[in-house]
Amino acid sequence: MIKQTLCALPIALALAGTASASKAPEDILDELAAKTSSSYLTQSPQNRMMMPDNPAYLVVEDGEKLFKQKRGPKNASLEQCDFGKGPGVLKGAYVELPRYFPDTGKVMDLESRLVHCMKTLQGFTNDDPAIKKRHGSDSDMMLLQSYIATQSNGMAWNPPLNHPLEKAMRNAGEVMFYRRSGTMDFNCATCHKVDGGRIRASVLPNIKKPEEWTKAISWPAYRTSQDNVRSSQHRVLECLWQMRYPNIKADSDAQIALISFWTDAARGQPAMLPDLKR
């Protein structure tokens, strides 16, 4: 019964308007894999088989309810939040983040913009659990991010680089990506600039191959090894932790710079949202 329900969810969500493209994430993956000889895209037949039953769809469904719910000290929903395409417009917004927002004077990614709206529209503070708890499928952050991001499924990554700060953040992220530091003298490129590189049994994506990189950065995604949906900021945090760097601060310029660079590297490729990863 549970499997039947999960299998029906992608169809139900699409009919309800929560999916932004007709192609399911697994179909996008199949098309990309067919165009390349990538061992990264084809390394896990088991994960591919699970994608239609992705538990993240349940998180997306709950996230939609939370997005539209009036709550917080101001008793307001998030339906007037502007993610870059106008108040309440979610379709295609995620693939055009990070971007510069005039109302804050900053370049913001999905997570930092969501926090901004929860504070300004709903009246939450950094100490409220709705904002303070950043990780886990049951957190408000992951429920909301999963719903918002999924509205851009199948659309091409296209973060704007028109504003000087957008260019500066993207370029700073590139410097960080290639700069060696930390106790192990690693950089991001150590793992992500070669074909068929591995950590143990896992094949790693090559940033120079956009077809691979789009899957690598398609977060939020359900991680089978962690039994949770994870965000882009969580992925950056975890990568840096594995490289033995100090923990990166949520919503910091460093976080957003890395995400700006990695999103630009996947420019033009279709996003798979929500994805399912090992």
C-alpha distances (whole Å) from 52 to each of 23, 47, 128 are 12, 10, 34
Residues 81, 121 contacting (CB under 8 angstroms)? yes
SS (H, E, C) 127-168: CCHHHHCCCCCCCHHHHHHHHHHHCCCCCECCCCCCCHHHHH
Phi then psi for residue 157, to 5 deg, are -60, 130
Whole-Å CA distances, 17 to 143, 150, 174: 17, 10, 36
Backbone angles phi, psi at 221, to 5 degrees: -150, 150
SS3 222: strand
Residue 93 to residue 102: CA distance in whole angstroms: 16
Which residue among the candidates 7, 188, 191, 239 is catalytic per the annotation? 239
Q: Which residue type occupies 152?
A: S
The encoded tokens of residue 133 equal 């708890």
Using CA atoms, how far residue 21 sits from 7, 33, 208, in Å, is 17, 19, 26
Task: Clarify whether 239 is annotated catalytic.
Answer: yes
State the helix-helix crossing angle for 110-120 and 232-242, rounded to 10 degrees.
Answer: 130
Radius of gyration of the chain (CA): 18
Please provide the size of the chain in residues: 278
Q: Which residues are catalytic?
A: 239
